[in-house]
Structure 1
Amino acid sequence: MNYQWSWSVFLELSPDGVHTYLQTLLMGAGWTIVLALCASICSVLFGSLLAILRTASSRSLNRMAMLYVEVFRNIPLLVQMFLWFFVVPELLPIALGDSLKQMPQPWGAFLPAWLCLAFYGSARMAEQIRAGIQSLPAGQARAGAALGLNEGQVYRYVILPQAFRIVIPPLTSELIGTVKYSSVALTIGLLELTGQARSMQEYSFHIFEAFSAATLGYLAINGLIVLSMRTIERRVAVPGLLGVAGAKAH
């Protein structure tokens, strides 16, 4: 293959006539970070609630949470993205649906992408946090009840603080996954990092340069997540829950 590499293409003007290709890639990385951050925050919060419902004493709440998790976890992410973008606005009241469809870009694509990743991610987060809760000795909840705490207070003050320490490693994987899943948003028109790389290769025909830059971008973003989460893991490690030797090894 006789391919002519040209890294100077990043300094050339992009089709918008304002930014260089390097600037558009950085803008795409910014949208990737914002989308992943917003979706991750919602996923952790809602996933925690689902994990509580999955492990609560109410059998009906257990079943409701389990149904949610199984539905959103077992439908392909791409299908969910199309459902949020094309189908959901049609199911809403006409005025609300029309306002969503007429929302200016990039917000018209960002909002459904955010909702899609948040609902999908919360189902995955819920299972990780549930595993952390169920890994704790049953005596922890009984001790909280013996102190006069109700079930909600037991979760808040006893169970969840310990469970979150345990599940930091799998939560790190989920956060990294959210960054990678955000690339699916290009299918509905959001020019995040992958979308900008694809646009660059279509207009400049420099395929390898475009996706090499995107690869480095994802490595940098996810590398920062890994380092941050390892720092948090070391600082909140509790002997007996996270092994002291394991914590020091990180």
Structure 2
Amino acid sequence: MTESLLLSAPARPSGPPGPDGRVLPLRRPGRWAAGFVVLVLVSQAAHGLITNPFYQWARFAYWFARPVVLDGLLITLQVTAYSAVLGLAGGVLLALCRLSGSPVLRSVSWTYVWLFRSVPLIVVLLFLYNLGALYPTLGIGIPFGPAFLTFDESRLATDIVVAVAGLSLCEAAYAAEVVRAGVLSVDQGQHEAAAALGLPRRYRFARIVFPQALRSIVPSYVNQLIGLLKATSLVFYVSLLDLFGTVQNLAGTYPGDVVPLLLVATVWYVVLTSLVSVAQFYVERYYARGALRTVAPTPLQRARAGLRDLRIRFRKETAR
């Protein structure tokens, strides 16, 4: 048994034995050469980025944390948060309709997903922004009958409402596919076992199927948030001054600071997406606990392991 395991294990490449009989690692000059070339190119790009006066880093530092920029950043965060919550709620509802036994619900849900995945987001935002021209007043009442309550559409559809509504409508279409794929990823035996126990369908979904589907849904939807965060830059076209809209206005007022202002927006988007990426790593690590034997180590754990290996090597070298 031991011999078969040794024969089936892949052999690690190694070099010839050293003078003291130890097996030395195989030398890889091509890997070292490629790494050196990449380091030279990265260093050259960083040097050009820092020393080029065209970027005006002094003006970048002046604008980076100005109150007007931070106000636009706050609006970006608000729109992203509202759209993420509403989009996920709508996606869950649409996914349930797609998985429903009703042909009407399945058809309507499929049509919704097909439509909003086909139409560009900017078209949806502009259409909602000009919706008042088509429907000046909205009402609540009996379908095809009299309205009990009417109100002006222009007062209800403020800029932030239009932005959140447009982003949520499009986000729900993508979230629906994420949720549906997560539910379908649950093993069919789980459905059959729950049905064999005589559990109601609603209880089966809420307590057995959906918690297991979250292992696929949550990491994928956190990744979807990065696209949603960047998509908020389009709300500038519906007169909402988010981070990108604020930078655009300032660039029109101060044409000499166009490049540093664009760098300000770029760095803030990089910071926000990096924070979402960090959250995605820990969310995926949390939901992988039941699927993997060992979860991926955190950066802090990797740093500690590296320091521990260096200590061990140093002690071995000094012991000689």
Q: Quickly name the TM-score band, shorter chain normalised.
A: 0.7 to 0.9
- 1:99 lines up with 2:187 in the alignment: no
Whole-angstrom distance in 2 between the partners of 1:229 and 1:182? 19
**What residue number does 1:62 align with?**
106
**What residue number does 2:270 align with?**
219
Whole-angstrom distance in 2 between the partners of 1:98 and 1:212? 35
- 1:136 lines up with 2:186 in the alignment: yes
Q: Does the aligned pair in 2 maintain the 1:89–1:96 contact within 8 Å?
A: no
Q: CA deviation at 1:157?
A: 1.1
Q: CA deviation at 1:149?
A: 2.2
**What residue number does 1:208 align with?**
259
**What residue number does 2:72 align with?**
28
Q: CA deviation at 1:25?
A: 1.1
Moved more, 108-117 or 135-144: 135-144
**What residue number does 2:128 align with?**
84
Counting only pairs closer than 5 Å after superposition, residues 85-234 of structure 1 correspond to structure 2 as: 85-87=129-131, 90-91=134-135, 92-93=137-138, 95-100=151-156, 108-205=158-255, 206-234=257-285
Question: Cα–Cα, structure 1 residues 88 and 162, in superposed 2: closer, same or farther, change >3 Å?
Answer: farther
Deviations 1:7-47 (A, max 9, x none): 247647xxxxxxx9722111111110110000000111111
Deviations 1:53-97 (A, max 9, x none): 212233332222111111111111000001111125632427331
Question: Cα–Cα, structure 1 residues 227 and 87, in superposed 2: closer, same or farther, change >3 Å?
Answer: same
- 1:53 lines up with 2:97 in the alignment: yes
Whole-angstrom distance in 2 between the partners of 1:8 and 1:82? 34
Whole-angstrom distance in 2 between the partners of 1:227 and 1:6? 27
Structure 2 residue runs of 5 or longer lacking an equivalent are 1-51, 139-149, 299-320
Structure 1 consecutive aligned stretches of length 4 or more whose deviation exceeds 3 Å:
1-4, 8-12
Deviations 1:119-141 (A, max 9, x none): 11010000011111112111112
**What residue number does 2:38 align with?**
none
Look up the equivalent residue of 1:41 and give its one-letter code: V
Name the larger-Rg structure. Answer: 2
Whole-angstrom distance in 2 between the partners of 1:238 and 1:63? 37
* Partner-residue secondary structure (3-state), 2:56: coil
Deviations 1:189-242 (A, max 9, x none): 1110100111111111111100101011111111111111221222232433xx
Look up the equivalent residue of 1:123 and give its one-letter code: A
Whole-angstrom distance in 2 between the partners of 1:2 and 1:10? 14
Question: Cα–Cα, structure 1 residues 10 and 95, in superposed 2: closer, same or farther, change >3 Å?
Answer: farther
Whole-angstrom distance in 2 between the partners of 1:78 and 1:8? 31
* Partner-residue secondary structure (3-state), 2:151: helix
Whole-angstrom distance in 2 between the partners of 1:4 and 1:142? 62
Moved more, 86-95 or 37-46: 86-95
Question: Cα–Cα, structure 1 residues 148 and 137, in superposed 2: closer, same or farther, change >3 Å?
Answer: same
- Counting matched residue pairs gives 234
Look up the equivalent residue of 2:101 and give its one-letter code: S
Greater RCO structure (CA 8 Å; 6+ sep): 1
Identity %: 24
Look up the equivalent residue of 1:148 and give its one-letter code: G
**What residue number does 2:290 align with?**
239
Structure 1 residue runs of 5 or longer lacking an equivalent are 13-19, 102-107
Moved more, 229-238 or 86-95: 86-95
Moved more, 66-75 or 55-64: 55-64
